[in-house]
C-alpha cells in the first residue's frame, strides 16, 4: 500500500504536476469536441434523415466513430452524413488515438520510468565487487576522504541508511548502497567480506554495533572515528582495528600550533628513521635570519623543507628570510631534532593562550597545554558538563567585553574553536584587530571557510574535515602519505623505473610535477639522504619521499606512472 502511495505521490510533484494540468486541459478539449459532435449528429440526423436520437445516443455514436469502433448500428444514409462521419472518425484518429497516447507516454510514462530507473537505490553490489573501501556515515570528513580516494584511484562505496541521501549521493556520481549499517544483510549486499577496509563514521554506539556485526562476518580491517576518547577500548573490543579520537587529535594539533613556549619540535610523522617535524620559527634562535645565516643544517643536520606563513607554503632557498610568524617544516632523524631542541630548548618564552570554545576540541587543546604547563584561559557560552578538569569563563566570546576582560590584548596565542565558522571568522578578525601580534590558530568546521579564516587574520587554520580525511587516508594507504597541513602532503613513492640512473636535476621531477624531493630512502638500509643535492644519482630500489600539494601529487603519479610499492 505504502509503495503504491509512494508511486502515486510522484504524479503530484514538480514537473509531473504541471503535466497533469496539461492533460486535464487536453481532456476538457476532447470532451468539448465529443459534445459538439454529439450535438451536430442529432441536428444532422434530424435535418438529413428525419430521424430523432437522444443526446446520449449522440455521445455513444461520436465515441464509437472517433475510436474507430464503428459498430454500424446507427449510420447515416446520405452523402453529407457520410462526410460528417468521416470527419468525426478522422479527428478521432488524430486527437484520441495519436495525440492522447503520445501525450500520455511522453509526459507521464517515460519520465516515470526514467525516474524509477534513476531513483532506485542500490541494495546490493555485484557479487564480484572487491577491493573497495566501505564508508559508513557521510559527513564533511568522509566527503573530504572521498576526494582523497578519488585522487588516488581507490574505489569506495558509501553505505547510507537514508533513501533520500542514497539517491542524492548517487546523483552526485558516488557508488552507494542503501541499507542499515548494522544489519548483516546490508553488509553482505555491500560485499563487506571482499572490501579492502571499512571506515565507520557514525555515533560511538552505532560504530560499536557495526564493528561487532562486521567483525563476526569477515576479517576486513575496520577504522573507526571515536567522539569520546574513553570509548576507544570498547570499539577495539568490538573489533575495530583503529579507533581514532578525531576531536582530541584536533584539539592537540590546534594547541601545539598555538603555543610558542620552548622549541619542542612537533613531529608530524615518520618514514622509517626519517622524521618530519614542525616548529614555530619564533621559538627558535633563528628568527629573523636568512636560511643560510641560520646554518641549521650545519649545526643539526636537519633540512628545512618548507615554511608556512598564513596559509602559504614555500620551499625555502638559501636567502629565504625566516619570519618569526612562520612555521618551519624540518626533515631529519630523531637525534638531529633533539640536537635542535638542545640549541633552542632552554629559553622558555612567557606564554598565555586564550581558548575560545570549551567543547570537545577546546577541552582537548586545554589538556595539551596543561600538560606542558602553558597557562590558558577557556571561554565558552555554556559550561562543559563532560569536563571536570577545567574551569571556563562563561560568556559569549563575540562580546568585546568578554574578550577584553580575558586579556586578549596581552595574550600570546589564541585558539578559536567554536562549532560555528561565522563565529570563528568574526572572532579571528576581532582578535587580530585588538592584538596584531597574537598567534591565532583557528578551526574550520567546513573546508570552504579555510580561506576566509586566513583572510580574517589567522596564522594557522586547521579544518576538521581535512585532518580527519588525511588521518583516514593514511590508514588506508599504510601511511604512504602523511598529513602535514592544509593542502600539503608528504608522500612516499618507489623510484619510477624510467628515472633510474638519472640525477635529480635530470629527472625533472620538480619542473614536471611541482613536487620536491624531501629525502631518498636507500635500499641497503643506510640512513635516508635528506634533501639530497641536485646532482645526486637516483639508484634502483630507492624510495622517494616527496612534498607537494594534492594536485602536484596527482601530477607526479600521472607523469611518472609510478607503482605505489
Q: Which of residues 415 and 530 has its CB atom nearest to ligand AMP in the complex?
A: 415
Residue 241 engages ligand AMP in binding (rule: CB under 6 A):
no
Residue 377 engages Zn ion in binding (rule: CB under 5 A):
no
Closest by CA position to 299, among listed 289, 312, 308? 289
Q: Which of residues 354 and 530 has its CB atom nearest to ligand AMP in the complex?
A: 354
Q: Which of residues 380 and 447 has its CB atom nearest to Zn ion in the complex?
A: 380
Residue 257 engages ligand AMP in binding (rule: CB under 6 A):
no
Residue 380 engages ligand AMP in binding (rule: CB under 6 A):
yes
Binding at 357: pick from Zn ion, ligand AMP, none (beta carbon under 5-8 Å per type): ligand AMP
Binding at 382: pick from Zn ion, ligand AMP, none (beta carbon under 5-8 Å per type): ligand AMP
Question: Which listed residue (171, 172, 293, 382) binds ligand AMP by CB under 6 A?
Answer: 382
Report whether 308 contacts 322 (CB < 8 A): no
Which secondary-structure segment (H or E) carries 117? helix 110-119
Question: Alpha-carbon distance 149 to 269, whole Å?
Answer: 20
Tell how strand 488-494 and strand 543-548 pair up: antiparallel
The number of residues that bind ligand AMP (CB under 6 A) is 19
Give me the least distance between CB of 389 and Zn ion, in Å please. Answer: 5
Residue 387 engages Zn ion in binding (rule: CB under 5 A):
yes
Give residue number: closest CB to ligand AMP.
359
Residue 140 engages ligand AMP in binding (rule: CB under 6 A):
no
**Secondary structure E strands in 281-407:** 303-309, 312-314, 327-332, 353-356, 376-380, 393-394
Residue 510 engages Zn ion in binding (rule: CB under 5 A):
no
Give me the least distance between CB of 466 and ligand AMP, in Å please. Answer: 16
Question: Which listed residue (45, 211, 322, 363) binds Zn ion by CB under 5 A?
Answer: 363
DSSP helix/strand/coil, 67: coil
Give me the least distance between CB of 379 and ligand AMP, in Å please. Answer: 6
Binding at 562: pick from Zn ion, ligand AMP, none (beta carbon under 5-8 Å per type): none
What number of residues does the chain have?
A: 565
Give the ranges where 184-245 is alpha helix by DSSP (H): 184-189, 204-217, 232-238
Residue 141 engages ligand AMP in binding (rule: CB under 6 A):
no
Residue 228 engages Zn ion in binding (rule: CB under 5 A):
no
Q: Which of residues 375 and 501 has its CB atom nearest to Zn ion in the complex?
A: 375
Give me the least distance between CB of 420 and ligand AMP, in Å please. Answer: 5
Which secondary-structure segment (H or E) carries 416? strand 413-416
Closest by CA position to 56, among listed 88, 78, 72, 34? 34
DSSP helix/strand/coil, 288: coil
Stretch that binds ligand AMP, among 151-159, 231-239, 352-360, 536-544 (CB under 6 A): 352-360
Q: Residue 252: CA atoms inside 13 Å, Cβ hemisphere, count? A: 12
Residue 147 engages Zn ion in binding (rule: CB under 5 A):
no
Residue 359 engages ligand AMP in binding (rule: CB under 6 A):
yes
User: What is the phi/psi pair of residue 389, to 5°?
Assistant: -95, -25
Residue 432 engages Zn ion in binding (rule: CB under 5 A):
no
Binding at 387: pick from Zn ion, ligand AMP, none (beta carbon under 5-8 Å per type): Zn ion
Q: Hey, which residues between 387 and 446 contact ligand AMP (CB under 6 A)?
A: 396-398, 417-420, 423
Residue 364 engages Zn ion in binding (rule: CB under 5 A):
no
Residue 287 engages ligand AMP in binding (rule: CB under 6 A):
no
Give me the least distance between CB of 424 and ligand AMP, in Å please. Answer: 9
Residue 129 engages ligand AMP in binding (rule: CB under 6 A):
no
Give me the least distance between CB of 358 and Zn ion, in Å please. Answer: 6
The three three-digit cell numbers of residue 414, written as one number: 589564541
Sign of CA dihedral 425, 428, 432, 437: negative
Give me the least distance between CB of 399 and ligand AMP, in Å please. Answer: 8
The three three-digit cell numbers of residue 243, written as one number: 579507533
The three three-digit cell numbers of residue 302, written as one number: 636537519
Contacts of 530 (CB under 8 A, 6+ apart): 274, 301, 302, 303, 331, 332, 518, 519
Stretch that binds Zn ion, among 211-219, 361-369, 413-421, 477-485 (CB under 5 A): 361-369
Strand partners, 16: none
Give the ranges where 152-203 is alpha helix by DSSP (H): 163-171, 184-189
Q: Residue 98: CA atoms inside 13 Å, Cβ hemisphere, count? A: 7
Closest by CA position to 66, among listed 45, 44, 93? 93
Strand partners, 356: 379, 416
Question: Which listed residue (42, 248, 257, 358) binds ligand AMP by CB under 6 A?
Answer: 358
Binding at 390: pick from ligand AMP, Zn ion, none (beta carbon under 5-8 Å per type): Zn ion
DSSP 290: B
Question: Alpha-carbon distance 201 to 207, whole Å?
Answer: 7
Applying CB under 6 A, the residues found at the interface with ligand AMP are: 356-362, 379-382, 396-398, 417-420, 423
Applying CB under 5 A, the residues found at the interface with Zn ion are: 363, 387, 390
Amino acid at each position: 500500500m505504502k509503495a503504491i502511495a509512494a508511486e502515486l505521490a510522484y504524479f503530484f510533484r514538480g514537473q509531473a504536476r504541471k503535466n497533469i494540468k496539461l492533460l486535464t486541459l487536453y481532456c476538457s478539449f476532447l470532451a468539448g469536441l465529443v459534445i459538439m459532435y454529439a450535438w451536430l449528429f442529432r441536428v444532422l440526423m434530424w435535418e438529413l434523415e428525419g430521424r430523432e436520437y437522444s443526446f446520449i445516443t449522440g455521445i455513444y455514436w461520436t465515441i464509437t466513430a472517433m475510436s474507430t469502433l464503428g459498430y454500424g448500428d446507427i449510420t447515416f444514409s446520405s452523402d453529407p452524413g457520410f462526410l460528417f462521419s468521416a470527419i468525426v472518425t478522422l479527428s478521432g484518429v488524430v486527437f484520441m488515438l495519436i495525440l492522447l497516447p503520445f501525450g500520455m507516454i511522453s509526459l507521464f510514462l517515460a519520465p516515470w520510468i526514467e525516474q524509477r530507473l534513476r531513483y532506485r537505490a542500490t541494495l546490493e553490489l555485484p557479487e564480484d565487487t572487491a577491493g573497495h573501501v566501505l564508508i559508513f556515515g557521510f559527513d564533511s570528513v568522509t566527503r573530504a576522504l572521498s576526494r582523497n580516494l578519488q585522487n588516488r584511484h581507490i574505489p569506495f562505496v558509501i553505505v547510507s541508511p537514508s533513501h533520500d541521501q542514497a539517491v542524492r549521493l548517487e546523483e552526485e556520481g558516488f557508488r552507494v548502497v542503501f541499507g542499515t549499517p548494522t544489519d548483516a544483510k546490508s553488509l553482505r549486499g555491500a560485499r563487506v567480506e571482499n572490501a579492502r577496509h571499512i571506515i565507520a563514521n557514525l555515533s560511538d554506539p552505532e560504530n560499536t554495533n557495526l564493528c561487532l556485526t562486521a567483525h563476526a562476518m569477515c576479517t576486513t580491517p575496520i577504522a573507526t572515528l571515536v567522539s569520546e576518547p574513553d570509548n576507544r577500548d570498547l570499539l577495539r573490543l568490538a573489533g575495530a582495528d583503529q579507533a581514532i579520537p578525531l576531536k582530541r587529535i584536533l584539539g592537540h594539533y590546534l594547541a601545539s600550533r598555538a603555543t610558542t613556549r620552548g622549541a619542542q619540535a612537533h613531529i608530524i610523522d615518520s618514514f622509517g628513521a626519517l622524521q618530519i617535524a614542525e616548529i614555530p620559527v619564533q621559538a627558535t634562535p633563528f628568527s629573523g635570519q636568512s636560511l643560510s645565516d641560520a646554518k641549521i643544517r650545519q649545526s643539526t643536520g636537519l633540512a628545512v623543507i618548507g615554511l608556512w606563513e598564513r596559509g602559504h607554503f614555500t620551499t625555502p632557498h638559501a636567502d629565504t628570510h625566516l619570519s618569526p610568524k612562520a612555521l618551519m617544516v624540518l626533515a631529519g632523524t630523531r637525534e638531529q631534532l633533539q640536537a635542535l631542541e638542545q640549541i633552542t630548548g632552554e629559553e622558555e618564552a612567557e606564554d598565555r593562550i586564550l581558548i575560545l570554545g570549551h567543547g570537545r576540541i577546546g577541552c582537548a587543546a586545554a589538556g595539551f597545554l596543561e600538560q606542558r604547563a602553558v597557562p590558558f584561559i577557556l571561554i565558552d557560552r555554556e559550561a562543559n558538563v563532560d569536563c571536570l578538569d577545567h574551569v571556563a569563563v562563561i560568556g559569549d566570546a563575540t562580546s568585546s567585553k568578554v574578550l577584553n576582560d580575558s586579556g586578549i590584548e596581552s595574550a600570546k596565542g589564541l585558539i578559536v574553536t567554536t562549532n560555528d565558522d561565522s563565529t570563528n571568522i568574526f572572532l579571528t578578525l576581532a582578535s587580530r584587530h585588538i592584538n596584531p601580534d597574537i598567534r591565532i590558530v583557528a578551526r574550520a568546521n567546513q573546508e570552504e571557510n579555510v580561506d576566509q579564516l586566513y583572510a580574517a587574520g589567522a596564522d594557522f587554520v586547521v579544518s576538521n574535515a581535512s585532518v580527519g580525511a588525511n588521518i583516514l587516508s593514511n590508514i588506508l594507504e599504510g601511511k604512504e602519505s602523511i598529513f602535514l597541513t592544509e593542502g600539503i602532503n608528504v608522500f612516499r613513492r618507489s623510484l619510477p623505473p624510467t628515472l633510474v640512473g638519472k640525477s635529480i636535476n635530470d629527472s625533472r621531477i620538480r619542473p614536471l610535477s611541482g613536487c620536491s624531493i624531501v629525502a631518498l630512502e636507500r635500499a641497503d638500509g643506510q640512513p635516508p639522504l635528506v634533501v639530497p643535492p641536485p646532482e645526486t644519482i637516483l639508484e634502483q630500489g630507492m624510495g622517494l619521499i616527496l612534498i607537494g600539494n594534492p594536485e602536484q601529487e596527482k601530477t607526479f603519479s600521472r607523469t611518472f606512472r609510478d607503482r605505489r610499492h
